Amino acid sequence: MILSQSWRELVFVHWRIDAAEVVPFMPIGVVPDEFDGSSWIGLIPFGMHDSAAFGGPAVPYFGSFTEVNVRLYGVDEQGRRGVVFLSLEASRLAAVLTARALFSLPYFWAQVSLDRADGQLRYRSRRFASHSPKTLIVARPSSVRVTDSALAEFLTARWTLFESRAGRTIAMFNEHEPWELFEVELVDLRDELIAASGVRSVGVRAPDSVLYSPGVITRFSAPEKLR
C-alpha cells in the first residue's frame, strides 16, 4: 500500500441518475454501475485526516483537511465496482497540486470547512475564484444504524478508483474495515458543485438517499493501468 488516510464524519448524499447521462464521464473500459434500474451520483463531504505515504508517519497540517467530492459509480470488464470522481474540493493547496500531478485527480483548491454545533455537522465549500461553485450541507446524524441495506452497500462499499490519465484507464484499489452507517437528517442543502461538474439533471430536487458514517481508515495500492 502506498497511501493511508483516515476518513471521518462522512455524509453520503445521493441521487438517482439516468445511466445514459453518466456514460460520457466513464473512463475507457468502465461502464455505469446501476442499482434498481438507475445509476447514482453522490455528493460526499468529510474530514480527511492523517494522510501518510509509503508506511511513513502522517503528514502534519497538509495531511488533514476537509473535503467535498462529487462522484459516479462504474464497473470494469472484470466486474470490479468502483468510483469515478467528477470533482474534489480541498482546503490544502499542496494536497490539491500533489493529487493532480501524481494521480490526475480533478481536485480543486477551495475554502472548505466543517463546523459542529447542536448535534449538527455543517460543511461549507467555495472555490478560490470569482463566481466559483459552492456548497452548503447541514446534517444531523442519528443513533439509528443502517443494516442489511443493499442500496447502502452499493453506494459505500467501493474498493476501486477509476480514472483517465493521458488516454489510459488507471485503477487504484483500497481496503478498509466495514462501514458503520447511520440514518441522518439532512437539515439544509444548497449545492452548485454537481451542476459545475457537468451533471444538470439533479437540479434542486431532494436526494434519494442520505447516510452518515463516523469513518474508516483506508489504504490504497499503487495505480495500475487497465487499458
Give bridge partners of residue 10 from the DSSP assignment. 213
Where residue 204 falls among pLDDT bands split at 50, 70, 90?
confident
pLDDT of residue 62 exceeding 60: no
Number of domains in the chain: 1
Q: 124: which 3 cell numbers?
A: 461549507
Say which CATH number the domain at 159 has.
Answer: 2.40.400.10
pLDDT of residue 143 exceeding 60: yes
**What pLDDT score was predicted for residue 61?**
47
For 94, the domain range is 3-225
Average pLDDT over residues 180-207: 96
Give CA 41 to chain center in angstroms.
Answer: 10
Please say whether the beta carbons of 50 and 7 come within 8 A: no
- Percent above pLDDT 70 for the chain: 94
β-strands 168-176, 224-225: how paired?
antiparallel
C-alpha to C-alpha distances, 180 to 4, 120, 210, 219, nearest whole angstrom: 19, 18, 14, 17
In this predicted model, what pLDDT tens digit does every residue of 71-115 receive, in sequence order? 999 999 999 999 999 999 999 898 899 888 878 899 999 999 999
More confident residue, 51 or 220: 220
